[in-house]
Amino acid sequence: MAQTPGITILGICGSLRQASHNRAALGAAIKLAPPGVTIEMADISAIPPYNEDVRAKGFPSAVESLRRQIAAADALLFATPEYNFSMAGVLKNAIDWASRPPDQPFAGKPVAMMGASVGMLGTARAQYHLRQVCVYLDMHPINKPEVLIAAAHTKFDAEGNLTDTPTRDFIAGLIAALRDWALRLKA
C-alpha cells in the first residue's frame, strides 16, 4: 500500500508559561500526529521586544534560530492564547522579528492554528487577528477544522494531558488537514 509522504511541522506557542494550556495543546498535537508527521517546538522565550535599532545591527540569535526553523519546516502550527481579544503579544513580537527582510521565511508556508483560553470563545478573536497577519505575510492558513479550546482549564489534567475527547479529535483532524494541505502546495 502506498504511504503518505511525511512532513515536518514547526509548532510556535504564544504562551511562555510552563503550565500553559496552549503549550499542552501543542504537546497533544505531537502525540496525535499521524505517522510520518513530525512536530518540533520553537522556543520564542529569549526573543527581545522588537527594536529596529537592534535589528540594524543584525538579528539576535534567538530570532536567527526561529527564522532558520521556519524556513526549514514544511508547515507551521501556531497555538495562541487570547489576550484582550487578540493574539498574545509575545507571539506577535516573534512574528514581527522573524518577518523582517531579507528572505522573510513565512512566505508561501502552509499554516494551521489553534488556541486555548479559559473563556467561552476559545481564542476565536485572537485567531482572526492571527489570520490577518498570515495574509499580509503571504502564508497559506487552512480554514478548517477550527480548533477553539474554550474553558481550557476543564480539558487538561494536572500534568497537562488533553483529556477531552472531542478536542483530541479536532486537533488530530487539524494536523491531518495541515499535512494534506502542505503536500498539496508542494506538489
Ligand X SMILES: Cc1cc2nc3c(=O)[nH]c(=O)nc-3n(C[C@H](O)[C@H](O)[C@H](O)COP(=O)(O)O)c2cc1C
Q: Which residues bind ligand X (CB under 6 A)?
A: 15, 17, 20-22, 81-85, 116-119, 152
Q: How far is CA 94 from CA 13, 103, 177, in A?
A: 10, 16, 25
Least distance from ligand X to the Cβ atom of residue 173, Å: 21
Identify which of residues 116 and 139 has a Cβ nearer to ligand X in the complex.
Answer: 116
131: left (phi over 0), alpha (psi -120 to 50) or beta: alpha
Residue type, 49: P
Cis preceding linkage at 35, omega within 30: no
Least distance from ligand X to the Cβ atom of residue 127, Å: 11
Identify which of residues 30 and 176 has a Cβ nearer to ligand X in the complex.
Answer: 30
CB 139 within 8 A of CB 75: no
Least distance from ligand X to the Cβ atom of residue 29, Å: 14
Least distance from ligand X to the Cβ atom of residue 35, Å: 28
Identify which of residues 87 and 182 has a Cβ nearer to ligand X in the complex.
Answer: 87
Identify which of residues 118 and 183 has a Cβ nearer to ligand X in the complex.
Answer: 118
13: left (phi over 0), alpha (psi -120 to 50) or beta: beta
